[in-house]
Structure 1
Amino acid sequence: MPEILKNIHRKIFTSNLQITHFALLVSLLNLVFFHFPFFGFVLNNADYKSFIGIVLIISLIIAVLLVNAFVFYLMLFLSRYLGKFLLVLSFLISAAAVYFINTYHVIIDENVVGSVFNTTYEETSVFLSFTLILYIFLLGVIPSIYIIRTKIKKDTWKHFLVTSSLTLLFIGLLVIANANSLPWFHKNYKQLQGLMAPWSYTISTCQFYSHKHRSDKKEILLPDATIKDDEKAVVVLVIGESARKQNFSLYGYGKNTNPLLSQVPNLSHFPATSCNTYTTATLKCILRHDDTDDLYEILPNYLYRNNVEVVWRTTNTGEPPIHIEKYQTRNSLMKYCKGGGCNYDEILLTGLKEQILASKRNKVLIILHTSISHGPIYSKKYPPRFEIFKPVCNRVEPAECSREELFNAYDNTIVYTDYILYNIIEDLKQLSEYKSAMIYISDHGESLGEKDIYMHGLPMSIAPKEQYEIPFIVWVSEGSKELKTDEILCQNYVFHSVLNFLHIESPVYNEKMNIFK
C-alpha cells in the first residue's frame, strides 16, 4: 500500500505536465468546485427540455471550461510563478465566495464587493464559522497545494499561438451556435456573471475601484444656502441598518415590536423604498438632494459649510466622505459612556442632549448611523434584556435555524431600535427652547429566508421587496411642524425635509420632496 501511494504521489506531483493539460485540469476543478450555483441558476431559468435549452446548457459547460482554461493557460505561459500565485489566490477566494453564495444566496457583484471592502474586522468576524473554514480548506487549500507542487513544462510560442487561436475559434463557434439564446443571456447577465468564478469577484472588484476612484474626486459644491431665521431648531436623523418595514408593528406587523413608539404623540410613519440594497449606495441617496450619480455635496457637508451645527455619530461603515468637525465613532464615544449599553448602539445617545445644548448655533443637525439589525447573527446586536421574543437564532448560517428562531432574533433588533428612538424623542422633549424633529429611515431592508434568500445586497433588478421596503418614521415637537400625507416616500426626501424644518433656503430645495407642511 505505501508503494501504491508513492506511485500516485509521483504521478500527480513529480511528472511534468504540459501547460495546456494543467490549465484544462485546473479549469475542470474550478468548474466542479465552484459552479454548482451557476448551473443551478441556468437549470431554473432555461428551458432545459427543449433542443435550444439542451444546446445552451452543454455550450455553457464547455464555454466555462474553455474560457477559464484559456485564461489560466495565458497566465501560466507568461509566467509560471505568477500564474500559479494567481491560481492559488483565485481558488482561495472562490472557496469563500461559493460558501457565501450557497449559505446566503447572494450574487457576487459590485455591491457585495463594496460591502466587503467597506466593512470592519468586527463586522467580518461574525461570519467566521466551521463550515466556512471547511469550504476554504477543501475547495481552496487542498487544490492550491496541488497547483503549487505540480511541475509544468515550458511551452513554445508556436504552440501557444496555435492553441490560443483554436480555443478562441471554438469559443466563437459556441457563441454563434447559441445566437437564438442571446436575449436570454442579456436578461440574465448580472446573475450569470455574479455566479461565475473567478469572474464574479474579479470584474466586480475592477468596477468597484473604478467607481471608487471617481467618487474620490472633489465633490461638486451646491449653491450657498441661507438660514431664514434665528429660531432654535434641531433635527436628529437616525439612519437604520437592514431594518425592513414588514417587521415594524407600526406598519401592521403581528408582533408588538414597537411598544414604546406606538404610545408617542406626534409620531407619523410613511411607507418608503430604498434606492438600492446595500449601505454605500443608499447612504448617498439619503444624504443627496437628488437621485443622481454626480458627486454633489451631501447634506452634512452642505449644512456645515452653511453655518449649521452638524454632528455625525456612527457605529457603522460604508459612509461617503464626511467633511465636518464633529465626527464621532464608537471609540471616541466610549470614554464618556457608562453601563452595559455602551457595547451596543445606544452608545450613540451618550451626552446627546448636552451636546445639543452646548451648541453655539441655532440650527443643529445630528446624524446617528446605527448598525442594529445587521446580520447574520442578529442576537448579538441588542442587550440581553431586549430578548423579548424567544427562542432566537444564534448561528452564523441563518438557514440552519428555524423560521421562528430567525424572526425572533431579528424582531428583537426592531424592539431595541424602538427603545433607542423613544429615548431620542424623550431627550428632545426636554429641549424646550428648540423646535425638534426626529427622522428615522433605514438604509435598506433585509431578507429572512423568503425564497431561500438571506440578508441583503441583491441587484435592484432582482431584489425582493423585503430588501428595499423600509420604514420612514417622523416625530415632531409640539407646535413645530405638521406633516403631509404622502403615499410612498423615497430616501431623497430626507435632504429637503431637513432643510424645510431648519428653515434653510436653498436653490436646490424641492418642495415636492418635503414631508412637512
Structure 2
Amino acid sequence: MLRGNLKIAHFALLMSFINFLFFHYPFFKFVFHNIDYKSFNGIIIIISLVIAMIVANFFAFYLFLFIARYFGKFLLVLFFTISAIAVYFINTYSVIIDESMIGNILNTNYDESSSFFSFKLIIYVFFLGILPSLYIIKTEIVNVPAKTFLKTISLTLLFLLILVFVNAGNWLWIDKNSKTLGGLAMPWSYSVNTSLFYIHKHKKNEKEILLPNATIKDNKKSVVILVIGESARSQNFSLYGYKKNTNPYLSKTENLYHFNATSSATYTTAGVKAILDYKKTDDLYEILPNYLYRNDVEVVWRTTNWGEPPVHIKNYQKRDVLMPNCKGEGCNYDEILLTGLKEQILASAKNKILIILHTSTSHGPTYSKKYPKQFETFKPLCNSVELGNCSQTELINAYDNTIVYTDYILHTIIEDLKQLKDYNSTMLFVSDHGESLGEKNLYMHGLPLSIAPKEQYEIPFIVWVSNDSIKLKPNQTLSQQNVFHSVLKFLNIQSPIYDENLNIFK
C-alpha cells in the first residue's frame, strides 16, 4: 500500500519510478530497435539509460519539491497529465516530441486539434494522468533540513557524473540518436523543447526583413494561382505512376507538367514558409505575397488552413469571409476556396495577379471527412482517428480519396483559368510536406527531416500553363524554393534577388 505521507526523497524517488514505468515504453522500444541488446555493450547502455532516467528525474523532482512543495506538486501534476497526452500521440501516431513538433502543436487550430479526440485518449489521460495526480495531491510530504537536502542532491549529482564518465565509450551512439531520445524522454521532451521553441522564436526577427524593390517589366495581363497542398505525397498521385487512378482529370489535361520534388520540412509552418521564401532560411524575410503586394501586384490569399508566416496584404480571406457567397455541399470542404475566384480576378484593376490558395484536404487523421461523399472512390475506408486500428488498405483508401478530391479542385481551377482569354495564366500546386500512412509503423508527419521517411518529404510539384507558347525547363527534381522565382519570372517582375537557376519557366 502507498502511504499517505512520505519523506520528500522517498516521494521524489517514487514519482520518478512511476514516471519511468508509465511513460518510457516508446523510449526503450527505440533503444532496443537500434542497438544489439544481446551484446555486453548493448546491455550496459540499456542499464545505464534506465538508471540515468530514474536518477535524473529524481534529482529534478526532489529539487522542485524542496524549493516549493506546492509548486513542485503542481509541476508533477502538470507533467503527468501532459506526459499522458504526449505518450498517447507517440504510441498512436509514432511522433517524436522535438522542437519542430512543439511548433506544430502550438500552431494547431481548434478544428485540427479536435479531430484527434478519441476514447483511447481519455483512457490515457485518466489512468496515466489523473489517477497519479490525485495521489500526488493527497500525499503529505515530510520535508528535510537543508543540510540533508544538500547532501542528497550533491550525492545524486555526483552519481550522475560518474555514470556519464563510465559511459564515455557509448556517447557516440547516444549523441547520434540524441534528437530521437530527447524527443521520447518524459517530461523533458516537451518541457525543454517548448523552452527552446520560444527562445528561438524570440531570437528571430520581430519584424520581417524587407527584400529589395522589384519592377514590373510589362503590362501584359498575367495571373498565377499557387495552390499550397496539405500533406500530399507524390507517390499517391497517378501522375507519378501510382497504380490507382487518383488523377482522373489531371491525367487528361493538356499543358500539364509534373516534377519530382522534396519539401524543406515535414510540418506545415516550415513547409509553407519554404514555399514562400526566396531562399532556404530560418530568418523572417519578406515572403512572396507580401513582397509582390508591396510592389504593386494584386495579391489574394484564401485559406482553410493555418501555419503561414505573417501575411500583410489587403485580400486575406478565410472560410468565414467566403462562406456567405458560397453555395452547395462543397462549401464545407476546400471547394469554398474557389468561390467567385474567376470573378475576383476579372474585377482586378491590375494586370499582374497572384492568387494563393492554402488547402487542408489531405490532413489527417480524419482523411475520410475531408471530401464530399461523391469523391468516396476507394473503399473500404478508415473512419477512426486512431489510425493504427485501421488496416493499411482502409487507411490508404481514405487518403487516396483526398487526392481524388484534390485532382477535382485543381481541374476546376484550370477550367476557370481557361476562360480568362485575355490572360497568360498558370497554376502551380506544391505540397507543404508528405504523409506517412502506416509504413514502418509511422503515421502522418512531423518527424525530423534527418530521420523522416521519404513518404514525409517527397511531394508533388504540378504546373499547368494556359498555352503552348509557355515552355518549361526540363527539370528533374525541384524544391519548394523554385516557387518564388518561378512566380517572378511568369509575371515578368525584375528583382535583384531573382535567381534564374530556381526558375522553372524558359
* TM-score class, shorter: over 0.9
Whether the 8 Å contact between 2:472 and 2:505 is mirrored in structure 1 is: yes
Aligned positions of 1:350-365 closer than 5 A: 350-365=339-354
* Equivalent in the alignment of 1:116: 105
Whether the 8 Å contact between 1:436 and 1:480 is mirrored in structure 2 is: no
1:378 is aligned, of 357, 360, 367, to 367
* Equivalent in the alignment of 1:287: 276
* Equivalent in the alignment of 2:184: 195
Whether the 8 Å contact between 1:17 and 1:151 is mirrored in structure 2 is: yes
Whether the 8 Å contact between 1:222 and 1:297 is mirrored in structure 2 is: yes
Aligned positions of 1:89-238 closer than 5 A: 89-215=78-204, 217-238=206-227
Instruction: Report the AA paired with residue 121 of structure 2.
Output: L
How many residue pairs were aligned? 506
Aligned-partner Cα distance in 1 for 2:443–2:204: 29
Aligned-partner Cα distance in 2 for 1:480–1:327: 32
Stretch of structure 1 that moved more, 207-216 or 145-154:
207-216
* Equivalent in the alignment of 2:259: 270
Aligned-partner Cα distance in 2 for 1:478–1:231: 15
Stretch of structure 1 that moved more, 115-124 or 446-455:
115-124
Aligned-partner Cα distance in 2 for 1:425–1:478: 12
Paired residue secondary structure (2:141) = coil
Q: Could you tell me how far 1:480 is from its partner in structure 2?
A: 5.0
Instruction: Report the AA paired with residue 51 of structure 2.
Output: I
* Equivalent in the alignment of 2:461: 472
Deviations 1:61-96, CA, capped at 9 Å, x for gaps: 010001111101111001111110110001000000
Stretch of structure 1 that moved more, 44-53 or 20-29:
44-53
Instruction: Report the AA paired with residue 248 of structure 1.
Output: F
Aligned-partner Cα distance in 1 for 2:469–2:409: 22
Deviations 1:328-380, CA, capped at 9 Å, x for gaps: 00111111111111000010000000110111111000000000000011000
Percent of residue pairs bearing the same amino acid type:
67
Whether the 8 Å contact between 1:95 and 1:140 is mirrored in structure 2 is: yes
- 1:249 paired with 2:229, answer no
Aligned-partner Cα distance in 2 for 1:51–1:182: 16
2:3 is aligned, of 12, 15, 19, to 12
- 1:77 paired with 2:66, answer yes
Q: Could you tell me how far 1:479 is from its partner in structure 2?
A: 4.6
2:438 is aligned, of 446, 449, 468, to 449
Aligned-partner Cα distance in 2 for 1:292–1:42: 33
Whether the 8 Å contact between 2:338 and 2:413 is mirrored in structure 1 is: yes
- 1:304 paired with 2:312, answer no
Whether the 8 Å contact between 1:279 and 1:443 is mirrored in structure 2 is: yes
Aligned-partner Cα distance in 1 for 2:162–2:268: 42
Question: After the TM superposition, which parts of structure 1 deviate over 6 Å for at least 4 consecutive aligned residues?
Answer: none
TM, length-normalised to structure 2: 0.99
- 1:427 paired with 2:427, answer no
Paired residue secondary structure (2:140) = coil
Aligned-partner Cα distance in 2 for 1:478–1:65: 66
Aligned-partner Cα distance in 1 for 2:404–2:38: 49
2:38 is aligned, of 49, 66, 71, to 49
Q: Could you tell me how far 1:244 is from its partner in structure 2?
A: 0.2
Deviations 1:194-225, CA, capped at 9 Å, x for gaps: 00000110111112112222346111111100
* Equivalent in the alignment of 2:499: 510
Whether the 8 Å contact between 2:302 and 2:356 is mirrored in structure 1 is: yes
Aligned-partner Cα distance in 2 for 1:304–1:12: 67
Structure 1 runs not aligned, ≥5 long: 1-7
Whether the 8 Å contact between 2:205 and 2:284 is mirrored in structure 1 is: no
Q: Could you tell me how far 1:294 is from its partner in structure 2?
A: 2.2
Q: Could you tell me how far 1:243 is from its partner in structure 2?
A: 0.3
Aligned-partner Cα distance in 2 for 1:318–1:204: 19
